[in-house]
Chains A and B, each alone.
Chain A
Amino acid sequence: MPELATSARIIPALSIEELTYSYPHGERGALRDVSLQLGAGELVLLAGRSASGKSTLLRAACGLVPHFHGGHIEGSVQVAGVDALATGPGELAAAVGYLAQDPETQVISTTVAAEVELPLELRGDAPASRARAVEEVALALAIPHLLSRTVDTLSGGELQRVALAAALVTRPQLVLLDEPTSQLDPVAGDELTWLLRRLNEEWGVTILLAEHRLERCLAAADRVIAMDSGAISFDGAPRDFLAWAQDADSALETPAARLFSLAGIDPLPIGVRDARQILASVGWRGAGSPPNGLYFFGRSSHGRPPSPSEKVEFGGDPAPLSHPPTAAKTRDLWIELSTGDEARDVLRGIDLQVERGERVALMGRNGAGKSTLLRAVAGLVEPVRGKIEALNGIALLTQNPGDYLVRERVGDELPGADGMAALRMVGLEHAVDSDPRDLSGGERQRLALAITLAGRMEGGELPGLVALDEPTRGMDRAHKTRLAELVGGLASQGAGVVIATHDVEFAAVFAERVVLLGDGVVIADGPATEILSGGWYFATEVARVLDLPGVITPEQGAAVLLEEERG
Chain B
Amino acid sequence: MRSPFAYTSRPGPLQAASPGAAVTYLGSLVVVSFLYSNPLVLGTAGAAAILAGLLAGAGRAVRAALWMGLTLALLIVAVNALVVDRGETVLARLGEWPLLGQVAVTAEAVAAGAVLGLRAAVVLVVFAVYSACVDPDRVLRSLRPLAGRSALTATLVSRLVPLAAADGARLRDAARLRGPAAAPVGRAPLARRLLAGSLDRAVDVAATLELRGYALDTPRAPRARARSRYDRRFYVVGAGILAAGIAGKLSGADAFDFYPAIEIGAGPATLAVALVVLLAGFAPLSSRLATYPRYMRGKSPSSTVARPLERTHA
How many chain B residues touch the partner (CB < 8 A)? 62
Asked if A418 and B181 make an inter-chain contact with CB atoms under 8 angstroms apart, the answer reads: yes
Asked if B215 and A88 make an inter-chain contact with CB atoms under 8 angstroms apart, the answer reads: yes
Is A398 engaged at the interface, CB distance under 8 Å to the other chain? yes
A153 CB contacts on chain B under 8 angstroms: 2, 8
List which A88-123 residues lie within 8 A (CB) of chain B.
88-91, 93-94, 98, 100, 102, 104-111, 114, 118-123
**What's the Cα separation between A419 and B177 when bound, in Å?**
15
Asked if A340 and B8 make an inter-chain contact with CB atoms under 8 angstroms apart, the answer reads: yes
In the complex formed, the residue of B with least CB distance to A69 is B207
B59 CB contacts on chain A under 8 angstroms: 341
Partner of B179, one of A121, A406, A422: A422
Is A396 engaged at the interface, CB distance under 8 Å to the other chain? yes
Interface string of A313-354 (1 = CB under 8 A from B): 000000000000000000000000111110000000000000
Give the contact stretch, choosing among A144-152, A250-258, A279-287, A542-550: A144-152
In the complex formed, the residue of A with least CB distance to B178 is A451
A412 CB contacts on chain B under 8 angstroms: 183
In the complex formed, the residue of B with least CB distance to A337 is B1
Asked if B216 and A127 make an inter-chain contact with CB atoms under 8 angstroms apart, the answer reads: no
A152 CB contacts on chain B under 8 angstroms: 2, 6, 162
In the complex formed, the residue of A with least CB distance to B186 is A406
B213 CB contacts on chain A under 8 angstroms: 90-91, 93-94, 119, 122-123
Partner of B212, one of A110, A119, A375, A451: A119
List which B166-181 residues lie within 8 A (CB) of chain A.
170-171, 173-174, 176-181
Is B290 engaged at the interface, CB distance under 8 Å to the other chain? no
A375 CB contacts on chain B under 8 angstroms: 173
B171 CB contacts on chain A under 8 angstroms: 403, 406
**What's the Cα separation between A422 and B213 when bound, in Å?**
48
- What's the minimum C-beta distance from B225 to chain A, rounded to whole angstroms? 8
Partner of A123, one of B159, B216, B222: B216
Partner of A455, one of B9, B173, B182, B216: B182
B176 CB contacts on chain A under 8 angstroms: 379-380
- What's the minimum C-beta distance from B163 to chain A, rounded to whole angstroms? 7
- What's the minimum C-beta distance from B162 to chain A, rounded to whole angstroms? 6
A126 CB contacts on chain B under 8 angstroms: 221-222, 314
Is A216 engaged at the interface, CB distance under 8 Å to the other chain? no
A110 CB contacts on chain B under 8 angstroms: 7, 135-137, 158
Asked if B221 and A396 make an inter-chain contact with CB atoms under 8 angstroms apart, the answer reads: no
Asked if B183 and A414 make an inter-chain contact with CB atoms under 8 angstroms apart, the answer reads: yes
In the complex formed, the residue of A with least CB distance to B192 is A406
- The winner among B6, B197, B211, B213 for most chain A CB atoms within 10 A is B211
**What's the Cα separation between A94 and B213 when bound, in Å?**
9
- What's the minimum C-beta distance from A437 to chain B, rounded to whole angstroms? 10
List which B60-88 residues lie within 8 A (CB) of chain A.
60
Is B204 engaged at the interface, CB distance under 8 Å to the other chain? yes
Asked if B223 and A127 make an inter-chain contact with CB atoms under 8 angstroms apart, the answer reads: yes
List which A525-564 residues lie within 8 A (CB) of chain B.
none
- What's the minimum C-beta distance from A406 to chain B, rounded to whole angstroms? 4
Is A1 engaged at the interface, CB distance under 8 Å to the other chain? no
In the complex formed, the residue of B with least CB distance to A100 is B204
Asked if B181 and A120 make an inter-chain contact with CB atoms under 8 angstroms apart, the answer reads: no
**What's the Cα separation between A91 and B214 when bound, in Å?**
10
Given A93-B211, A111-B9, A338-B1, check contact A454 B193 (CB 8 Å): no
- What's the minimum C-beta distance from A453 to chain B, rounded to whole angstroms? 5
Asked if A105 and B208 make an inter-chain contact with CB atoms under 8 angstroms apart, the answer reads: yes
Is B189 engaged at the interface, CB distance under 8 Å to the other chain? yes
A402 CB contacts on chain B under 8 angstroms: 197
Interface string of A132-150 (1 = CB under 8 A from B): 0000000000000000111
Is A435 engaged at the interface, CB distance under 8 Å to the other chain? no
B174 CB contacts on chain A under 8 angstroms: 398, 400, 403-404
Is A125 engaged at the interface, CB distance under 8 Å to the other chain? yes
Asked if B183 and A455 make an inter-chain contact with CB atoms under 8 angstroms apart, the answer reads: no
Is B210 engaged at the interface, CB distance under 8 Å to the other chain? yes
Is B306 engaged at the interface, CB distance under 8 Å to the other chain? no
B206 CB contacts on chain A under 8 angstroms: 68
Is A62 engaged at the interface, CB distance under 8 Å to the other chain? yes
Given A120-B221, A130-B221, check contact A419 B60 (CB 8 Å): no
List which A382-416 residues lie within 8 A (CB) of chain B.
395-398, 400, 402-407, 412-416
**What's the Cα separation between A422 and B208 when bound, in Å?**
39
Asked if B1 and A64 make an inter-chain contact with CB atoms under 8 angstroms apart, the answer reads: no
In the complex formed, the residue of A with least CB distance to B185 is A406
**What's the Cα separation between A123 and B211 when bound, in Å?**
11
List which B197-256 residues lie within 8 A (CB) of chain A.
197, 201, 204-216, 218-224
B181 CB contacts on chain A under 8 angstroms: 414-416, 418-419, 422, 454-456
A114 CB contacts on chain B under 8 angstroms: 135, 137-138, 141
Is A363 engaged at the interface, CB distance under 8 Å to the other chain? no
Asked if B173 and A415 make an inter-chain contact with CB atoms under 8 angstroms apart, the answer reads: no
- What's the minimum C-beta distance from A156 to chain B, rounded to whole angstroms? 13
- What's the minimum C-beta distance from A238 to chain B, rounded to whole angstroms? 29
Is A378 engaged at the interface, CB distance under 8 Å to the other chain? yes
Asked if B218 and A127 make an inter-chain contact with CB atoms under 8 angstroms apart, the answer reads: no
In the complex formed, the residue of A with least CB distance to B159 is A108
In the complex formed, the residue of A with least CB distance to B220 is A124
Partner of A454, one of B138, B162, B179: B179
B1 CB contacts on chain A under 8 angstroms: 337-339
- The winner among B176, B179, B197 for most chain A CB atoms within 10 A is B179
Is B190 engaged at the interface, CB distance under 8 Å to the other chain? yes
Partner of A90, one of B155, B178, B215: B215
**What's the Cα separation between A406 and B182 when bound, in Å?**
11
Given A111-B135, A127-B223, A127-B314, check contact A150 B177 (CB 8 Å): no
Asked if B193 and A406 make an inter-chain contact with CB atoms under 8 angstroms apart, the answer reads: yes
In the complex formed, the residue of A with least CB distance to B218 is A124
**What's the Cα separation between A123 and B219 when bound, in Å?**
8
In the complex formed, the residue of A with least CB distance to B200 is A105
- What's the minimum C-beta distance from B113 to chain A, rounded to whole angstroms? 34
In the complex formed, the residue of B with least CB distance to A456 is B179
**What's the Cα separation between A485 and B206 when bound, in Å?**
39
B207 CB contacts on chain A under 8 angstroms: 64, 68, 89
In the complex formed, the residue of A with least CB distance to B197 is A402
Given A339-B2, A406-B192, A414-B182, check contact A68 B210 (CB 8 Å): yes
Is A131 engaged at the interface, CB distance under 8 Å to the other chain? yes
Asked if A455 and B137 make an inter-chain contact with CB atoms under 8 angstroms apart, the answer reads: no
B214 CB contacts on chain A under 8 angstroms: 90, 122
Is A523 engaged at the interface, CB distance under 8 Å to the other chain? no
Asked if A91 and B8 make an inter-chain contact with CB atoms under 8 angstroms apart, the answer reads: no
In the complex formed, the residue of B with least CB distance to A401 is B174
A400 CB contacts on chain B under 8 angstroms: 170, 174
Asked if A453 and B179 make an inter-chain contact with CB atoms under 8 angstroms apart, the answer reads: yes
- What's the minimum C-beta distance from A514 to chain B, rounded to whole angstroms? 24
Is A52 engaged at the interface, CB distance under 8 Å to the other chain? no
Asked if B204 and A456 make an inter-chain contact with CB atoms under 8 angstroms apart, the answer reads: no
Given A123-B218, A398-B177, 12 new contacts (CB under 8 A): A90-B210, A108-B208, A109-B137, A114-B138, A127-B314, A130-B221, A341-B59, A396-B177, A398-B173, A405-B193, A406-B189, A451-B178
Q: Which 9 A-B pairs have the closest CB atoms?
A: A455-B181, A418-B181, A454-B179, A455-B180, A114-B137, A127-B224, A105-B204, A403-B174, A454-B181
Could you list 19 A-B pairs, sorted by A, with CB under 8 Å? A67-B210, A90-B214, A102-B204, A106-B204, A108-B208, A110-B7, A111-B9, A111-B137, A122-B216, A127-B313, A153-B2, A375-B173, A400-B170, A412-B183, A418-B181, A419-B181, A419-B183, A451-B179, A452-B178
